[in-house]
Amino acid sequence: MDVASVAAVTRAIDAVTVDRVKERHPRAPLHLESSTMPSAPSTASATESLTSAESIRLVLDTVEARNPNEPEFLQAVHEVLESISPVLEAHPEFVDGGILERLVEPERQILFRVPWVDDAGRLQVNRGFRVQFSSVLGPYKGGLRFHPSVNLSIIKFLGFEQIFKNALTGQGIGGAKGGSDFDPHGRSNAEIMRFCQSFMNELYRHLGEHTDVPAGDIGVGAREIGYLFGQYRKVTNRHESGMFTGKGVQWGGAEVRTEATGYGAVFFVEEMLGVHGETLHGKRVGISGSGNVAIYAIDKARQLGATPVTASDSSGYVVDDAGIDVDLLRQIKEVERARISEYAARRPGARYVEGARPWEVPVDVAIPSATQNELDQGDARALIANGVRAVAEGANMPSTPEAIELLQSAGVLFGPGKAANAGGVATSALEMSQNAARQRWSFDDSEAKLRAIMADVHDAAFQAAERYGRPGDYVVGANSAGFERVAHAMLAQGVI
């Protein structure tokens, strides 16, 4: 296709997008211009004379038109924008400055092929992604996920959430996410090493301790981080410790980083309960998942006197009324990489429920820690019927919008993921600080810092909810507090 044809197609796509938005917003002077057809910048705001709600709707319609096949990303954008209308009413300069229009577009999207050779000598090709959403508060920061479900929509949703989560920590880090549709399960160490090296052969050029600092996520643990960091060091000829977090403690990693997301979610529950004069002590806790977040949420809940009674994987869940044995669970999932059913086979009194989720089990506190949209409307009804007091998201967006609405309407304390699971990235920022200073903090010091950060995250969300007329609504509070910090920085740094 020649240049003229490309330009014609681009103009046609933009025209369709404008028409779709104009159908709903005839008052909006929307200018969606192709880079092939430059025009003089308009002196009027694209949202001039619109209310904050109308401005939000206009941006949402534009996002939907531009990203029609990205449901996870659209869900994340809706969840944030629909909750921040009071912030825009209090700060009209955010509307005038086009903050929303800029914020929903990543600063950079990187999509690349990852060729590698398996143990049988066959060529394999996967897709690699890195979406660098916002660097206004600091270098891009967010994990890498290796899982067959990974696509651009999921990476964009995770990166968008990361903007506000990272802002809430107050640690001076931006938002990004990345990964691949590569599945490490069933692969040999040699295959995983070859894949990681090929992945880094492309991604390295976009990373750096002052540019973009990835970490682990689903499918990317200590083994994968080691291979990725090693290849970065090889191709750049630099031992740049601060360019990757989640490293082994022996070679630049931070104490508590492995435990941080799970510990942080439990600390956030303690803070929510503390507002009402309660603690976790003596409460039954339901936790989904059996990976890093779930294991350490179970561990910390037990340390604080609670009884965590469930764990799960994609095959089903186990119930252990005596309390999940963390050491046995870690042996099965981290060492043997076996199914959760093995736990019930080895643990007297535990039972396994195949093909179901754990939310039908009566608990006082629920911490969904597996994956996005795992807790739906039916699950929320079951939790409410069984008297759940608090729900905190250990995973990213594990609750559907309908489930969140039901839980909040029933008076259940609800901690959204961008606040409740911020402990992981907060401790990553602490690891970056230690690397920069060539220091190493003790486990106790690191955990104390993590707990203080989670208390600050809670307080920021709680106070923002009060400030904007939604007391006790941590969804509104977390979104508003994170958005405010990002928006003020964007205004200060100009249109970039």
Instruction: List active site positions.
Output: 177
Whether 319 contacts 296, CB under 8 Å: no
**Of 307, 249, 313, residue with least CA distance to 281:** 307
400-to-72, 246, 378, 403 alpha-carbon distances in Å: 11, 29, 10, 5
Q: Which of 132, 261, 106 is nearest to 208 (CA)?
A: 132
Give the three-state DSSP class for 318: strand
Q: Which residues contact 368 (CB under 8 A, 6 or more apart)?
A: 287, 288, 289, 374, 375, 391, 393, 394, 395, 398, 399
* Three-state SS at 284: strand
The number of angstroms, rounded, from the C-alpha of 171 to the middle of its chain's C-alpha atoms is 16
Q: Which of 61, 49, 39, 157 is nearest to 106 (CA)?
A: 157
Rounded to 10 degrees, what is the CA torsion of 175, 180, 186, 190?
Answer: -90
Q: Which amino acid is at 371?
A: T
CB neighbours of residue 36 within 10 Å: 14
Give the CB-side neighbour count of residue 9, counting CA atoms within 13 A. Answer: 6
Rounded-to-integer distance, Cα 461 and Cα 186, Å:
41
C-alpha 165, offset from chain centre: 7
Q: Is 370 exposed, middle or buried (0-12, 13-18, 19+ CB in 10 A)?
A: buried
**C-alpha closest to that of 248 among 218, 219, 228:** 228
Query: DSSP readout, 34-48?
Result: -TTS--PPPSS-TTT
User: Does residue 195 sit in helix, strand or coil?
Assistant: helix
Residues forming beta bridges with residue 352, ordered by sequence position: 318
Report the alpha-carbon distance of residue 379 to residue 363 in Å, rounded. 12
Which run of H or of E encompasses 212? strand 212-215
CA pair distance 60, 68, nearest whole angstrom:
11
Find the radius of gyration of the CA atoms of the chain: 23
HEC sequence for 385-421: HCCCCEEECCCCCCECHHHHHHHHHCCCEEECHHHHC
How far apart are the two ends of the chain, measured CA to CA in Å?
31
